[in-house]
Amino acid sequence: MPANGPAVTAEREVWREALGVVLATSAYGISFGALAVASGLDVWQTCVLSLLMFTGGSQFAFVGVFAAGGVSALPSAIASAALLGVRNVAYGMRMSPIVGTTPRRRVAAAHFTIDESTAVAISQTDPRLRQVGFWVTGIGIFIGWNITTLVGALVGDVLGDPQTWGLDAAAAAAFLALLWPRLKERQAIAVGIAAAVVAASLTPVLMPGLPVLVAAVVAIVVGWFNWLGRGDAPAGGPREGVS
């Protein structure tokens, strides 16, 4: 076998892993596209949101708050999406020495630094394979997510009235589906329960969007003091899932 045989095989494995993540994650874009249109956005606005925001968790949060309050809840929707996107800043600091040393490469990498690209990259031990994992996963999901967003938006636009199909409540259900696999440790469960109780209690008295922001503050406090989390095993890095 040639000297570079093992290296070629390792790179193929990284490509295979990355493309598997790309296919699985991109499929969620159909749900987002349909839910965004059902929430009041048009096809063009939905596609632009995926192009520019490109972080699934924040996009679902934005759509969920916007669906509840419409244009009046837009500031709260933006704030909710921004809070969920803060984690990408931490990913960026972790990935900065991996994606390349030139400012141009780091600027280009910023838009592709999401849960999945970070997870695939840091799961590799070789620096070159980390770069391959990051770029293949990040760019692949960006392309796939935007294609499936368009498909979902067109499908949602054809369906018409969201209440007829129950899509008016689907944004919250979809976001819960994204959250559920992460609730494995006591700390995460404590944060989820505390935030949910606060949001549900304040929903009847505050304008749409604000209960989510107050619940986010509660989640930060619970997480900061690590209530019920002392027995949990330390995390080994970001988990794969919708970004």
Q: What is the pLDDT of residue 243?
A: 56
For 112, 120, 125, 161, the CA distances from 14, given in Å and listed in that order, are 17, 8, 11, 43
Question: What pLDDT shows up at residue 61?
Answer: 79
Q: Among candidates 82, 80, 86, 57, which has minimal Cα distance to 208?
A: 80
pTM flag (> 0.75): no
Dist. CA 11–CA 9, nearest whole Å: 5
Q: What is the pLDDT of residue 162?
A: 52
Distance CA 145, CA 149 (A): 6
- In Å, how far are 81, 111, 163 from 117, measured between CA atoms? 19, 11, 36
The ranges of the chain with pLDDT < 70 are: 1-8, 159-188, 203, 206-213, 216, 219-220, 222-243
Residue 130 CA: distances (Å) to CA of 3, 116, 133, 139, 233: 21, 13, 5, 14, 25
Structure tokens at 105: 């490469």
Distance from chain centroid for Cα 176: 12
Residue found by looking up tokens 């391959």 in the block: 132
14-30 burial by CB neighbour count: b if 16+ within 10 A, else e?
bbebbeebbeebbebbb
Q: How many CB atoms lie within 10 A of CB 160?
A: 12
Task: Report residue 241: phi and psi, to 5°.
Answer: 165, -175
Q: Please tell me the predicted confidence (pLDDT) of residue 102.
A: 79
Instruction: Please name the residues in contact with 207: beta carbons below 8 A apart, sequence gap of 6 or more.
Output: 69, 72, 73, 76
Give residue 35's identity as a one-letter amino acid code.
L
Cα distance between the two ends of the chain: 39
> What does each C-alpha distance from 24 to 9, 137, 148 come to in angstroms?
23, 11, 12
Q: Are the C-beta atoms of 87 and 62 separated by less than 8 Å?
A: no
Give residue 159's pLDDT: 63
Residue with tokens 């935030």: 195
